[in-house]
């Protein structure tokens, strides 16, 4: 067997012995990442791996065997066609969140407005949502707010590497940094896991992802409650609030939205049949 495939086989078997599912695919991804190559090149050319590359590869395997997510090992992930850099303290963008972005874009396209669109992303993390919207609405003014300074450094860097100039990332607690502004679209993927459920999540999440980006308080809905109770002050009439939601939270969010004076809302399922998006329209 040629050298690269031999190495890949050894890597896959090592990952498999550490109970990593998809061990071959993950080994493949590590090699592709290190060589900056695509799969076809890898299998067609079967390039030789030099010693420094092999060492780096085994460094990755060692980290992965401790259950560190591949995205942190690579320092980046793909989201909505963009490269998003991430690291310790920053939530890894999830594929489900692309559905939230997709729905927000559909809603925002339907808005009639005379002035340039104002968009707010609360708990913006890596900036993945704000930047996806920035790419789709280049004339909009977009604000991304997060409590974590560490996270905002990544968000600012992600704006630069993706060439987005219409997003400002600001530090603060929810609406606090944008007190004097109004928005056509407010979007948020806030922490929404119940505090007591965090330690039983898969080790990749429980051991490595920032708890403050996951922990939605005792009932998981702490942030929705605050956002919903204040959103009307920051939304233009006919403005839209789009929330990513967790498993089994839609009923509770519906009643909280009603209690905050909203009446027009819709809940949308993700690919696994979980209500993942709440669209709340300010009529």
Of 67 and 94, the one with the shorter C-beta distance to ligand GLN is 94
Q: Of 90 and 205, which has the nearer Cβ to ligand GLN?
A: 205
Least distance CB 88 / ligand GLN (angstroms): 16
Using the minimum distance from each CB to ligand GLN, give the nearer residue, 27 or 191.
191
Closest by alpha carbon to 33, among 2, 12, 56? 56
Structure tokens at 104: 């927000």
Q: Minimum CB separation from ligand GLN for residue 208, in Å?
A: 11
Dihedral of alpha carbons 30, 36, 40, 41, sign: negative
Q: How far is the CB of 34 from ligand GLN (least distance, A)?
A: 27
Closest distance to ligand GLN from the beta carbon of 205 (Å): 5
Q: Give whichever of 125 and 135 is closer to ligand GLN, judged by the CB atom.
A: 125
**Which chain residues interact with ligand GLN by CB under 6 A?**
94, 189, 191-193, 205, 214
CB 159 within 8 A of CB 221: no
Measured distance CA(107)–CA(119) in Å, rounded? 12
> Rounded to 10 degrees, what is the CA torsion of 68, 224, 123, 135?
100
**Residue 56 is encoded by which pair of tokens?**
């780096």
């Amino acid at each position: 067997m040629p050298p690269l495939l031999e190495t890949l086989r050894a890597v896959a078997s090592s990952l498999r012995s550490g109970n990593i599912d998809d061990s071959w695919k993950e080994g493949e991804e590590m090699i592709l990442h290190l060589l900056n190559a695509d799969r076809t090149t890898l299998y067609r050319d079967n390039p030789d791996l030099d010693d420094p590359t092999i060492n780096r590869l085994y460094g990755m395997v060692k980290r992965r065997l401790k259950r560190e997510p591949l995205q942190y090992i690579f320092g980046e992930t793909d989201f909505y066609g963009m490269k998003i850099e991430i690291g310790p303290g920053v939530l890894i963008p999830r594929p489900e969140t692309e559905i939230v972005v997709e729905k927000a874009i559909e809603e925002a396209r339907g808005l009639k407005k005379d002035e340039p669109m104002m968009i707010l992303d609360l708990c913006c993390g890596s900036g993945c949502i704000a930047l996806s919207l920035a790419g789709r609405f280049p004339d909009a003014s977009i604000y991304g707010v997060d409590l974590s300074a560490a996270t905002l450094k990544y968000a600012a860097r992600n704006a630069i590497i993706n060439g987005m100039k219409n997003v400002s990332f600001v530090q603060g607690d929810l609406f606090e940094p944008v007190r004097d502004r109004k928005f056509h679209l407010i979007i948020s993927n806030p922490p929404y896991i119940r505090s007591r459920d965090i330690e039983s999540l898969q080790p990749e999440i429980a051991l490595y992802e920032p708890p403050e980006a996951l922990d939605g308080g005792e009932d998981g809905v702490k942030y929705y409650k605050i956002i919903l109770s204040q959103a009307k002050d920051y939304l233009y009439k006919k403005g839209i609030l789009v929330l990513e939601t967790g498993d089994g939270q839609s009923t509770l969010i519906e009643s909280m939205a009603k209690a905050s004076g909203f009446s027009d809302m819709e809940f949308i399922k993700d690919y696994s049949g979980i209500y993942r998006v709440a669209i709340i329209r300010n009529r």
